[in-house]
Each structure stands twice: as structure tokens, then as C-alpha cells.
Amino acid sequence: MRRSTLRTTIAVVTAGLTLTACGSGGDAGSGSGGGDGSDAATATSVEDFGGMDALVEAAQAEGELNVIALPPDWANYGEMLETFSEKYDIEINSASPDGSSQDELNAVESQKGQDRAPDVLDLGTAFARQAQAQGLTAPYQVQTWGEIPEDQKDPEGHWYNDYGGYISIGCNASVVDECPTTFADLLDPQYAGQVALNGNPTQAAAAFSGVWAASLANGGSLDEIGPGIDFFGRIKDVGNFNPVEITPATIQSGETPISIDWDYLNAGLTETLADQGVEWEVAVPSDGLFGSYYSQAISKFAPHPAAARLWQEFLYSDEGQNIWLNGGARPVRLPAMEEAGTADADALAALPEVQGTAKFPTEEQQTAAQAVVAERWNAEMSG
């Protein structure tokens, strides 16, 4: 219903189609007054624009926002994109919605100086830190900056965490006799060819976190992700590993009966699958409780720098944070919003049950774990 009332357009295009349409490139932000050489590109807060009204005016003058790797069915991003587009009358160009964090970084570098380049990034935190280290991000602090915990953001605002959740096990109970609820269960021969991840752990934060959760369940720690790779090696050896990367389509088609993924993604499919006659069960495993946030960042080379900053302001407003909460994710400002009474009560009550205390890795631990996965995963799991 919301789509039919939109005055603006959310254009979902593939990287290939974008190349055909915009391959001639051109100066960033040409004709919009934006681009990485504009005043907006160096703004580090809304005060640099002269206030929120001026930021909105500057963003609307640009008229467009380029996003990448934002599936509409991921953490309620469909509603997020539509609401922003309608609220500010800004067209959103959404490229490669099923892309990975690494794909986003590659796009920033390969499309630098082109109108189609990403304005904003949604990344696993390890990849956000990598983007900052590579000089791909622009610092910006939103108006609600003070309510983002210190340990969930870069001090200068190159990136800040946005929404998070816990690694969970989704299961098609219509075809699986007894759904697994722990990592240990996944070794059972009854799950032959059924255990899949959301992407390649060397490329995708969700899959990377799934390996780390498996490590915690098998004697590993935040300093040692290796046991998680060993565990998936055992899953493969007993014939239970399914190399098909999870998407909503593979779940709905039955290709991936058991899905290791974030709880908000698995739980978000429950209603849709029920409408298709599929009983979908979701469990947060107690033997490998691992939580993590994703992060937002503005591309240093954004062709629409004002629209990029307005997008950040929207995401971290009460309205934006509640849209994520309605998608089953835990927004980073949730504690402050609960205290202020601005969190959506129904959405809060619907969050999946979690027992125990999740562990969150430090930057050094993430960097070390990425190196181990990069060295071992493809060598040991391919073929």
C-alpha cells in the first residue's frame, strides 16, 4: 500500500545494469551542487549546514541518494528506504541489494568519481574499520550522537554502529523432523546437506559471525576463531554442510532448510513463510551466543554528500531506530529510547528470547579473526 502512494521512486538495479546506464561516469555530483569537492562533503554535523532545515534543503537539491547492499527484507530496510524517500522527496538508487560488505568497499573504490558511486555504506563493523583505514569514509556526527555508546562508534564519526542482533538457527520444521537448537545438534546425521550460512565468511559479516559463534560453542573465544572453522569442517565431513548461500528465496524454495543467520533475519521470515504453508522455527543457540552490530558510514567520495548526511540523521532518529526495531533488530540507541519512552513497545516485546550474555569482540580481535578466516576458510571448505 505504501508503495502505491510514493511520489518518488526507489530504483533497484544490478551492478551490471548500473554500469550500462552510467558507465560514462563524469564528475561526482555534476549538476547537483554536491560531490566530494562540495561544502557538504566536508560537513561533520548538521550545524555545518546551518541546521536541519538547511540540510534537508541541500539534500533535496541533490535529489538522489545512492545506497548499496540493502535488501528490502533485511532488518526492515524496505520500509526504511520507502519512508525516507517519501518523507524527503528524494529518489533512492539501490544497487546490488544482496551484495556483501566487501562488495561495498570494492564499489567505493572502483566507482570513485562516478554519479552512480555509493553515497552511504552499511557494513559489518570490521569492514567499517577497514573502510576507515583505507581512507574511504567521511566523518559525520548525527544529532543523536550523544546517545550512541562510546564503544559503538569511531570517536570522529567515520562509522557508528546502527542495529544488531544475535546469531541464530532458523529451521524449516515442515521438512525437518526435529529442529536443532544448538551448534552441537548440527552434527546430527539427520541434517545431511541442510546446514547453510548467509554468505562466504571471508566476504559477508553475517557468515563471519556464524563461524565465530560456532567457535564459542566449541572451545574457542573472541581471541580464537579457529575452532569455528574446525567445526564447519566437521559439518562438511559428516555431509551436513550446504554450500548454497542463504537468501529468502533459497529458504522459501527449500534449498536451505537450516539457516545460520542473524536472529532478526531468521525471525523476520516467519510470517512470510507461514503464509506459504511453511512452519519456520528460530532458536538463539545457548552454546554459542554471539552478538554484533552493523555500522553506518558515509563514503568520502559520495556524489550526493548532503543526502548522505540526511540519511544518517534519519537512521539515528527515533523514527529510523523504531523502523529497525520493527524489523526485529536491536537499534543502537535502544537503551536511551527505552529510558525516554520512545521505543515501540510492541516491537520491543516481539524480540526473540535470548538467554545469557553475548560477547562483543574488540577491533583487535576482529582484525585477527578476519585474518584467520581469510587464510583458512576457502582453502578448507571449498571443493
pLDDT at 5: 24
pLDDT at 110: 96
At 209, the amino acid letter reads S
Facing residues of 92 across strands? 10, 65
How remote is the C-alpha of 346 from its chain's centroid?
23
pLDDT at 36: 54
Residues of the chain falling short of pLDDT 50: 1-33
- Which cell is 99 given? 551484495
pLDDT at 33: 42
Q: Which of 147, 169, 99 is nearest to 127 (CA)?
A: 99
> What's the pLDDT tens digit per position in 189-238?
999 999 999 999 998 888 999 999 999 999 999 999 999 999 999 999 99
- Which cell is 10 given? 526507489
- According to the 3-state scheme, what is the secondary structure of the chain? CHHHHCCCCEEEECHHHHHHHHCCCCCCCCCCCCCCCCCHHHCCCHHHHCCHHHHHHHHHHHCEEEEECCCCCCCCHHHHHHHHHHHHCCEEEEECCCCCHHHHHHHHHHCCCCCCCCCEEEEEHHHHHHHHHCCCEECCCCCCHHHCCHHHECCCCCCEEEEEEEEEEEEECCCCCCCCCCCHHHHCHHHCCCEEECCCCCCCHHHHHHHHHHHHCCCCECCECHHHHHHHHHHHHCCCECCCCCCHHHHHHCCCCEEEEEHHHHHHCHHHHHHCCCCEEEECCCCCCEEEEEEEEEECCCCCHHHHHHHHHHHCCHHHHHHHHHCCCEECCHHHHHHHCCCCHHHHHCCCCCCCCCECCCHHHHHHHHHHHHHHHHHHHCC
- Which cell is 165 given? 542482533
This prediction's pTM: 0.75
pLDDT at 383: 65
Residue with cell 550500462: 20
